[in-house]
Structure 1
Amino acid sequence: MISFRLLVLCLLLNLSSFAWAEEVMSFSSDLNQIRYQSLVNELRCPKCQNQNLADSGSGIAVDLREQVHQMIEDGKSDQEIVDYMVARYGEFVLYRPQHSSATFLLWYGPFILLAIGFTIFVSVIVRNRKRRNGARL
C-alpha cells in the first residue's frame, strides 16, 4: 500500500513538472509576439525534422525559440532571423524553401509530372479512338 502511494506521489510530481517546464516569454509588444508565433510556426526543428519549432519539445527547439525571441526583441527583422537560421542550419529549416535553380524540381516537379501524365493519357485515348474508327471502316 505504501509503494502504491509512493508511486502516485511520484506520478503527480512528474506531471506537475511538465507544467513548470512550459515556456513563458514576455514581449515588448503584441506585434513582437505575433511575429514570434509566425516565425516558430514557419521554421522546422533541425532535430525532429517534421515538426516546427513551436511544436517540438527537443532541446535544440527550445534553444532556437529562445534565440528567435531574443532576436525579435533586439529589433531584427523577420528576414534577418530567417537568413540567420538558413545560414546556420541550411534551407532544411524552412517549410517553404526559396525558389531557386536548386529547388526548381521541388516546386514544379509535381506539375511537370502531372502534365506529362495527362499528355500520355490523352494520346492513348486518341490512339485507341483512331484504331476503333479504322476497324469500323
Structure 2
Amino acid sequence: MFMVLSFSTGAIGQPSEAEIEMRAKEVGRSLRCVVCQNQSIDESDAPLAMDMRELVRDRLRDGDSNTEVISYMRERYGDYVLLKPPVQRNTYILWLTPFILLLAGLGWFFVNSGRREDER
C-alpha cells in the first residue's frame, strides 16, 4: 500500500513528457545555436544544439521554469545565446547599428541625388 501511494504522489508533481517537450520547444525557440548563429536550438541540426536541447529538457524535468532555464543558459553561454538580446549598455551598438546605417544610407542618397540634379 505504501509503495502505491508513494508512486502516485510522485507522479502528481512531475510534468508529463508531452508537457516537457512542448515547453522545451518554446524555450528552444528563444535560444540561439552558438554554432549556427542565426538559428534557434530548436531549428538547428548541429550536435551542440542537440546537446543544448537535451540540457533544456533535463532542467525542465528537474522542475525549473522556462524563465529559470533561459537564465541558466544565459549564465552558461552569455547574452549571445539569446535570440532577442536585452537592451543594455553592452548591446547598444547591436541595437543602434541598423538605425545608424539606415540614416547614413538615406543621407548619402539625398546628398548624391542633389548633386546629380546640379550637374544637369
Alignment partner, residue 85 of structure 2: 97
Moved over 3 A (4+): 29-32, 49-52, 60-63
The answer for the alignment partner of 1:56 in structure 2 is 45
Offset at residue 93 of structure 1 (A): 1.5
Could you say what secondary structure the match of 1:42 adopts?
Answer: coil
Displacement of 1:112: 1.2
Q: Taking structure 1 as the reference length, what is the TM-score of the superposition?
A: 0.59
User: Does 2:63 match 1:72?
Assistant: no
How far the C-alpha of 1:128 sits from its partner, in A, is 4.1
What are the ranges of 5 or more consecutive residues in structure 1 without an aligned counterpart?
Answer: 1-26
Give the counterpart of 2:111 among 104, 115, 123.
Answer: 123
**Which SS does the other structure have where 1:103 is aligned?**
helix
8 Å CA contact retained: 2:36, 2:46 = no
Which residue, 86, 105, 112 being the options, matches 2:74? 86
How far off its partner does 1:126 sit?
2.9
Which of 1 and 2 has higher RCO (CA within 8 Å, sep 6+)? 2
Q: Does 2:76 match 1:110?
A: no
RMSD: 2.6
**Number of positions where the alignment pairs a residue of Structure 1 with one of Structure 2:** 104
Q: Does 1:43 align with 2:31?
A: yes
Query: Given the two structures, how large is their TM-score scaled by the length of structure 2?
Result: 0.66
Following superposition, the deviation at residue 101 of structure 1 comes to: 2.0
CA distance in 2, matches of 1:120, 1:114: 10
Deviation at 1:115, TM superposition (A): 0.9
Give the distance between the partners of 1:62 and 1:120, measured in 2 at CA. Answer: 45
Structure 2 runs not aligned, ≥5 long:
1-14
Q: CA deviation at 1:30?
A: 4.6
